[in-house]
Amino acid sequence: MGIEPRAGILDIRPYKPGAAEAPGIADPVKLSSNENALGCSPKAAAAFEASAKRLHLYPDGGATKLREAIAREEGLEAENIVCGCGSDELLQLLGRAYLDPGDKVVQSQYGFLVYRLVAMQSGAELVSAPERNYTTDVDALIEAAGDDAKIVFLANPNNPTGTYISDAEVRRLRDALPSSTLLVVDAAYAEFVRNADYSAGLELARERDDVVVTRTFSKIHGLAGARLGWAYGNKSIIDVLHRVRGPFNVNLPAIEAGTAAIADRDFMKRSADHNEEWVAWLRQQIGGLGLEVTPSVCNFVLIHFPETPGRTARDADAFLTSKGLIIRPVEPYGLPNALRATVGKAAENRRLVDGLAEFMGG
Ligand SMILES: *Cc1c(COP(=O)(O)O)cnc(C)c1O
């Protein structure tokens, strides 16, 4: 007889990361995890390497230098920032700190899978609000939240759909929720979005004490392997997160790499420029093959496949994998007829389109 974990833990379906290998293919193209097509800032890589001489030392538990660099670049107050081992950790910490068993957690229909994990780990009840056109529907979220949601998780823009809602819509959502509901705005892809009506929500988080914004170094900064994220919010929330985080939750090389990365605005701009060009190209090319592509402001596209035998998302995934093209099934999100493909380097994007063209033509 084993030792029983807390109620509900064994119901959790462990998070399955994007595949990294295609059987029998030596040099597969990995477009399954929304990693940065350009790699990372050379300055960040150099800072990471230089930190090797100090690996015997504990890092600064408060990641002060990194928080100050973020504050400087983003025009924020360092004391209102907490850093984490990826923004995933910060989402987990929010659950640990604020959720009791039975609490209600609300997300949008195709919301990022980590919200489900966070809710289940705390024994909270997850309610999903229907979307329209693969886009968050604020009215549906408000209705689902009612007057007793503890946390509303909003990925803006969202993964795996790639869509976003405007700052005005986020504010309308916040205004409609009771002040006892914490609104978590997960803006992992914020730096890619150039639409004038978009905001990552930092201003809103500054104005209110019931909003927290999470950000990541995994996407625009290309530091997914370093595991680094940050949250910004009112001091009362940030103080709570500091209490529940591990004493040294952000490692020393990550602090060094992140501090260099956030200051490298040139690398960030190049990443966003590359993305703007290629996300539009992918949508146009893949759309030209007769496949529906959801308009995306992120570094990936959601591609919809027909249910015709031989032409399904599952068939496409198997075919592409056999060609060494690894993209992401999104069945766990309730999207069995779609696949998500990350924007890659120019040649990788061309290979993907060629592969899809062969699949559709074959
Ligand atoms: C990639 C992603 C994150 C970032 O996770 P990290 O733990 O920081 O790597 C957070 N939220 C969403 C919606 C994402 O797609």
Q: What is the average pLDDT across 10-32?
A: 89
Note the pLDDT of residue 7.
87
Taking the mean position of all CA atoms in its chain, how far away is CA 69?
22
Q: How do residues 337-361 score in pLDDT, each as one tens digit?
A: 999 999 999 999 999 999 999 999 9
Decide whether any atom of ligand 1 lies within 6 Å of the 155 Cβ. yes
Note the pLDDT of residue 16.
82
Q: How do residues 36-91 score in pLDDT, each as one tens digit?
A: 999 999 999 999 999 999 999 999 999 999 999 999 999 999 999 999 999 999 99
Q: Please state, in angstroms and as integers, the Cα–Cα distance from residue 207 to each residue in 13, 77, 195, 233, following that order.
A: 37, 13, 22, 9
Q: How do residues 241-284 score in pLDDT, each as one tens digit?
A: 999 999 999 999 999 999 999 999 999 999 999 999 999 999 99
Q: Which fold has domain 42-263?
A: Aspartate Aminotransferase; domain 2 (3.40.640)
Measured distance CA(139)–CA(11) in Å, rounded: 30
Measured distance CA(211)–CA(251) in Å, rounded: 27
pLDDT at 106 over 90: yes
Q: Which residues contact 179 (CB under 8 A, 6 or more apart)?
A: 210
- Residue 361 Cα to ligand 1 midpoint, Å, equals 35
- Residue 218 Cα to ligand 1 midpoint, Å, equals 7
Measured distance CA(121)–CA(304) in Å, rounded: 31
CATH class of 18-39+266-361: alpha beta
Q: What is the average pLDDT across 203-213?
A: 97
Q: Edge to edge, what strands does the sheet with 335-342 contain?
A: 292-294, 300-304, 335-342, 328-330
- Residue 16 Cα to ligand 1 midpoint, Å, equals 14
Decide whether any atom of ligand 1 lies within 6 Å of the 271 Cβ. no
Q: What is the mean pLDDT of the chain?
A: 97
Note the pLDDT of residue 1.
61
Look up residue 100 and give its two tokens. 């009791």
Decide whether any atom of ligand 1 lies within 6 Å of the 128 Cβ. no
Decide whether any atom of ligand 1 lies within 6 Å of the 229 Cβ. yes
Look up residue 129 and give its two tokens. 């609000």
pTM score? 0.97
Cis peptide before 157 (omega within 30 of 0): yes
